[in-house]
Every structure is written in structure tokens, then in C-alpha cells.
């Protein structure tokens, strides 16, 4: 201990040389006061013990002393959950009669070793982020989300730099993927993918700052910003309290002068505007529009943006180590008790796979003839059930792995074989579900919901492939992060490919093919395509009249409604405006109603 000296324990030998009287020779001589009884020597910001002074966070220190060799950004092995027992690295388990662990001990295990204080740069970056959020995000989503995300990253970067943290490969991967998700609203106009992308970007940013490689570290870090934002306000207040701001003697007079100048210009500007119409027009063009009705909404956005920026900076300054969370394995079952249900389930999956192979080889038409159902009815009947089976299979694999027998190598081998076989057979279920949805789309067309469940089903198939690979590999510590990476990549691809554009393109192409092959039977679901966003305009613009005017009517009303600034719109919106400007809809809104009537669709006044 730096600055402290501790006397040696009574059971440790003393230094060599002449010995004092032993215990059998009489009582020990009185001892003088030791250094322990005196006041400790003053410590610097970072002492030899790694303690931290929040009033001087700029002082250099050794980050390896604070975070250890197994921090969340380290390339070493995963954390071991601290606590009693050999896994915790603290010796044997608790002795009989020891007090029970207190409630909340699992949370204290994840407490950071240290947390850097908030600096003026961090607080200023959070305030600027709040201002940008109030200014840019009020009108809608677009490039403004990416701008606010970049401002938040700057504040978190300041806090991480003060804390001495370094960027690791997984940190860079999560950060780049979060930026890709934030770019979705800037590219496409659809609202649902934009919301999913924004939520995914927040979760990835939290994970990038927390770190994590085990399942608890990954899953608990994703929503970490939710419970770090409120404590971040107190953290910033405590760090700034009593701190001497640099340049205060120069900044405060400038702020006072600006306030006086603003007051003078406001008073005399109002008087000049009332005295002269030309002056009033000039001042009106120079002054920003201020709508008092917008103040509550913009104020809420300011608070939300500033608190979120402080929350991310709070995580960067000292994240919780969720990898230390201890998840005790489930009670081990006997081999027969555990294996019998899985064997039965594997047999049922195997029978289903054989039946599907017979259907594929024998042709779907024969099966449909025996059942008496149409292609769309056959697909609709089976897809949703197979999707539920896919999800339930993942739950079964997770629970079976938790309670699997693992005492002997034979137990572990049997568990690996049965679970691996179940995952392989689950791929047949995924393939069958995708094939049925393909029949469904071919018969009835593509919708937003059908495209979304197709994407999710493909991702579930990828998860099963990862589980199979983990069963064949010797190490599985890569599995949590790779599974999450596959899910976030799927979400990014889904948003960046433009779901509404794909739905419109598939329906229009299907209608055009029907016009060429069987014109009397050609039809398009106008109720479906009318509800799409401006992303669908390039495809819907190819429709003949009156279907074109009916399909684009609601989209045109949204585009030519209240104008939005450039940062609150997407590139797809700009392209849609250009397309409608080159080829306007036929007639007015009344004609639009007539166009829907001509197309065979009852007018919907939405």
C-alpha cells in the first residue's frame, strides 16, 4: 500500500538476526505506535493502488491496473464471475454458518473498478447534442438522426479518452454497424425500418461502450443506456461541482455582452419594425421563425438528447462489467431422463423432414390434390405454425443445454449429438417454412409483414447454423457476439435494402407479367400498395392509369403536405418528388377518387 506501512502478521517469521523474547519468556514488550496509526500520506490522483481522484481526471494512469487483463475490450479469455468457489478465483466456497449473500450482490459484482469524472468537454458536448436534437429531430427522421448520433459519439469519446480506454476490434465493429443503422432513415422514407434501425443503433452503441463476450455481458449491455441515463446526470453534476472552469474570466464577460446585445437588438428591432414596413420585412427575413406551440416538444427533445449523451458518456467513463454476472448451471439430469424427450423430438422432426422430401420429389400439385387446398391456402396454413416451431426449437435447445448431463465425457458426447441433430433437423423446418411463404407470395403478392417474417426466418436458420458450428468447435466463447452480429447485420440489411421499395417492385412486376400472359385475370392489390411510403414511388410509377393515380394518391398527399427541411427527409423522398413532378397524377383529389373507382377499389379517405 502506498503511503501506508502494515505490521507483519504474527504467524510470519521476522527478519533474521537477534530474536526478541518469545511468548514463553513473558509478555511482549509494549510496542510504540506504528505508522498505521498515523495519518496516511497524501495521495495523487492515481496512487499506486489504482485509486482515482474525480477532481483531476486528466492525470495519466495505467488502464490495465484499473480494468485488469480481462476487461471487456481485452483480447484475453472471458471473465470469470467473481464469488465463492473455484470459478470465482477466491478460494473454496463459504463455510458452514456463513451469512447468506445479500440481495443485489449479483449487481455489485458488475460495478466498475473506477469511473472517470465528467469534464467540461463532456458536459458541453452533451448540451450541444441536446440543442441539435431539439433543432433537428422535431420535423421527422432523416440525416438528422445520423448527425445527432455523431454528436453523441463525440461526447462519449471525450469521456473514454479521459478514462484511458482504447478501441478494440469488436468496439469498432459495433460502432460501424450502429452508424450503418443510423443511415437507414437518411436513405429510405419508411417509418417502421427507421424505428427498428434507431433502436438497434442505440443498443449497439451501448454494447460498444460496455463491452462483453459472454451471454450476460452481451444481453445486459444492450439496454444499458436505459438505466445509465438518470445516474449520468448526478455524475455530471458531482464532477462539475466546485470545479474551476478554464477560461472563465474570458468566457463570462463575452456571454454577458452577448446577452445585452440580444436584449438591445430585440427592443430596438421591434420598434423599427413597427415604424417602417420595409424594415419589418427585412428583419422578418433575418430572424428565425419561432412557434410557441413547438416549445414543449423541442424542450422535451433537448432534455432527451442531453440526457442520452450524458448516459453514453457515463458508460464510456466506467462501464459495468456485465461479464462478471454469474449464471449458475442448471441442475444436471440423469442421462435417460434428459435424453428420452430429445430422442422423441428428434424422431418427430425426422419424420417431418422425410415427408417434406417426399412432397418435393413427388410434386406439390399431388399433395394439393389430395388435400383439396389451393397453393396460397396450403402455404398460409403451414407457414405460421412452422415459424412458431422454429422459435420453440431454439427455446428447447437452450433449456436442454442448461440441464444436460455433463459428468462424464460420454454424457457430454451424447448431449452434443442429440442437440446437434435437433439443430440440423430444424434447418429442414426453416427450409419448409421459407418454401411455403414463397408459394404464398407467388399466389397473393408480397406485403410488409410477409417480407419481415421471411427475413426473420432466414436469420433463425443462420442461428441454427451457428449453433451447429459451436457444437463442432472446441471453443464457444465466440458464439454470443457472433449471434448478435448476425442479428444486427440482418436488421441493417433489411433497413438498407428498402422494404417498401421491394414490396412495390414485386407486386408491380407480378402485375406486369399477368398483363402479358393473361390480361383479363391481371390484378394488383391496391389496398396493399397504397399504404406504402415514398420508397415505392419508382415502382408504382410504372403502373398504367388509373391504377397509377390510385396507388400514388396517398403518397402524393404526404409528399405535398407540410414541407420538411432537408435534414428531416430522405433521399427516397427527394426521388419521389422528382418523379411526381415529371408525371403528375391525373386531375385533382376528386379525380383521384374517381381513379380508384375506375380501378375497382372503393375510395378510402385516409
492, 494, 495, 500: CA torsion to nearest 10: 180
Q: Which residues contact 307 (CB under 8 A, 6 or more apart)?
A: 130, 229, 230, 232, 233
| pLDDT score for 104 | 66
> What are the tens digits of pLDDT across the range 190-227?
999 999 999 999 999 999 999 999 999 999 999 999 98
pLDDT digits (tens, 9 = 90+) for 565-594: 889 999 999 999 999 999 988 754 444 456
* Complete DSSP assignment for 263-319: HHHHHHHHHHHHH-HHHHHHHHHHSPP--GGGHHHHHHHHHHHHHHHHHHHHHHHS-
**pLDDT tens digits, 262-288:** 889 888 888 888 888 888 888 776 665
Q: Work out the pLDDT band at 245, boundaries 50, 70, 90.
A: low
The DSSP line for 577-593 is HHHHHHS--SSSHHHHH
pLDDT band at 374 (very low <50, low <70, confident <90, very high): low
**Cell numbers that stand for 176 in this block:** 460501424
C-alpha–C-alpha distance, residues 284 and 288, integer Å? 8
- How many angstroms separate the first and last alpha carbons of the chain? 73
Q: Where are the domains of the chain?
A: 120-243+290-322, 251-286, 335-497, 517-598
Please write down the HEC assignment for all residues of 525-574. Answer: CHHHHHCCCHHHHHHHCCCCCCHHHHHHHHHHHHHCCCCCCHHHCCHHHH
The more confident residue out of 92 and 104 is 104
pLDDT band at 114 (very low <50, low <70, confident <90, very high): confident
List Cβ<8 Å contacts ≥24 apart for 458-462: 458/430, 458/434, 458/490, 459/486, 459/487, 459/490, 460/390, 460/391, 460/394, 460/430, 461/427, 461/430, 461/431, 461/434, 462/486, 462/490
What gap in Å lies between CA 318 and CA 66, rounded to an integer? 10
Alpha carbons 604 and 530: distance in angstroms, whole number: 10
Flag the least confident range among 2-16, 118-132, 222-236.
2-16
Amino acid at each position: 500500500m502506498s503511503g501506508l506501512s502494515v505490521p507483519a502478521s504474527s504467524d510470519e517469521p521476522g527478519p533474521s538476526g537477534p530474536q526478541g523474547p518469545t511468548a514463553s519468556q513473558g509478555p511482549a514488550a509494549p510496542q510504540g505506535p506504528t505508522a498505521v496509526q498515523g495519518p496516511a500520506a497524501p495521495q495523487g490522483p492515481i496512487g499506486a493502488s489504482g485509486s482515482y481522484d474525480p477532481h483531476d481526471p486528466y492525470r495519466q494512469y495505467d488502464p490495465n491496473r484499473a480494468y485488469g487483463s480481462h476487461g471487456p475490450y481485452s483480447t484475453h479469455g472471458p471473465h470469470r464471475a467473481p464469488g465463492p468457489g473455484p470459478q470465482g478465483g477466491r478460494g473454496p466456497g463459504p463455510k458452514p454458518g456463513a451469512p447468506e449473500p445479500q440481495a443485489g450482490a449479483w449487481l455489485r459484482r458488475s460495478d466498475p473498478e473506477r469511473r472517470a469524472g465528467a469534464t467540461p468537454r463532456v458536459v458541453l458536448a452533451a448540451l450541444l447534442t441536446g440543442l441539435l436534437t431539439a433543432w433537428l429531430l422535431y420535423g421527422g427522421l432523416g440525416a438528422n438522426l445520423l448527425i445527432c448520433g455523431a454528436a453523441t459519439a463525440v461526447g462519449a469519446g471525450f469521456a473514454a479518452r479521459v478514462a484511458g480506454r482504447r478501441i478494440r476490434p469488436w468496439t469498432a465493429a459495433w460502432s460501424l454497424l450502429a452508424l450503418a443503422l443510423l443511415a437507414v432513415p437518411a436513405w429510405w422514407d419508411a417509418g417502421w425500418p427507421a424505428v427498428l434501425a434507431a433502436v438497434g443503433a442505440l443498443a449497439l452503441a451501448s454494447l460498444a461502450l460496455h463491452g462483453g463476450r459472454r451471454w450476460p455481458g452481451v444481453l445486459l449491455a444492450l439496454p444499458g443506456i436505459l438505466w445509465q441515463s438518470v445516474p449520468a446526470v448526478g455524475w455530471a453534476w458531482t464532477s462539475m461541482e466546485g470545479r474551476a472552469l478554464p477560461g472563465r474570466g474570458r468566457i463570462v464577460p463575452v456571454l454577458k455582452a452577448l446577452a445585452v446585445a440580444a436584449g438591445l437588438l430585440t427592443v430596438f428591432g421591434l420598434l423599427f419594425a413597427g415604424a417602417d414596413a420595409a424594415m419589418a420585412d427585412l428583419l422578418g427575413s433575418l430572424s428565425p421563425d419561432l412557434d410557441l406551440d413547438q416549445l414543449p416538444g423541442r424542450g422535451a427533445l433537448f432534455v432527451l438528447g442531453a440526457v442520452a449523451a450524458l448516459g453514453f458518456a457515463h458508460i464510456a467513463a466506467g462501464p459495468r462489467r456485465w461479464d462478471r454476472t454469474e449464471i449458475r448451471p442448471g441442475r444436471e439430469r440423469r442421462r435417460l431422463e434428459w435424453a428420452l424427450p430429445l430422442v422423441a423430438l428428434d424422431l418427430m422432426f425426422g419424420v417431418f423432414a422425410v415427408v417434406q422430401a417426399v412432397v418435393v420429389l413427388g410434386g406439390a400439385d399431388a399433395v394439393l390434390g389430395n388435400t383439396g387446398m389451393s397453393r396460397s391456402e396450403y402455404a398460409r396454413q403451414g407457414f405460421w405454425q412452422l415459424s412458431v416451431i422454429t422459435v420453440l426449437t431454439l427455446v428447447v435447445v437452450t433449456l436442454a443445454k442448461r440441464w444436460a448431463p455433463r459428468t462424464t465425457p460420454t454424457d457430454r458426447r451424447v448431449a452434443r449429438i442429440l442437440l446437434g441433430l435437433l439443430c440440423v433437423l430444424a434447418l429442414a423446418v426453416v427450409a419448409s417454412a421459407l418454401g411455403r411463404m414463397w408459394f404464398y407470395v407467388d399466389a397473393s403478392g408480397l406485403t410488409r409483414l410477409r417480407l419481415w417474417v421471411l427475413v426473420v426466418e432466414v436469420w433463425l436458420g443462420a442461428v441454427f447454423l451457428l449453433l451447429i458450428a459451436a457444437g463442432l468447435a472446441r471453443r464457444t466463447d465466440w458464439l454470443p457476439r457472433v449471434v448478435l452480429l448476425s442479428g444486427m447485420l440482418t436488421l441493417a440489411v433489411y433497413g438498407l435494402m428498402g422494404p417498401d421499395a421491394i414490396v412495390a417492385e414485386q407486386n408491380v412486376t407480378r402485375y406486369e407479367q399477368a398483363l402479358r400472359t393473361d390480361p383479363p385475370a391481371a390484378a394488383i392489390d391496391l389496398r396493399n400498395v397504397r399504404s406504402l411510403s415514398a420508397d415505392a414511388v419508382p415502382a408504382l410509377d410504372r403502373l398504367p392509369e388509373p391504377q397509377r393515380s390510385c396507388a400514388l394518391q396517398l403518397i402524393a398527399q404526404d409528399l405535398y403536405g407540410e414541407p420538411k427541411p432537408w435534414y428531416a427527409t430522405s433521399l427516397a423522398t427527394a426521388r419521389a418528388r422528382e418523379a411526381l413532378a415529371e408525371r403528375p397524377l391525373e386531375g385533382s383529389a376528386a379525380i383521384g377518387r374517381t381513379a380508384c373507382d375506375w380501378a375497382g377499389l372503393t375510395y378510402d379517405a385516409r
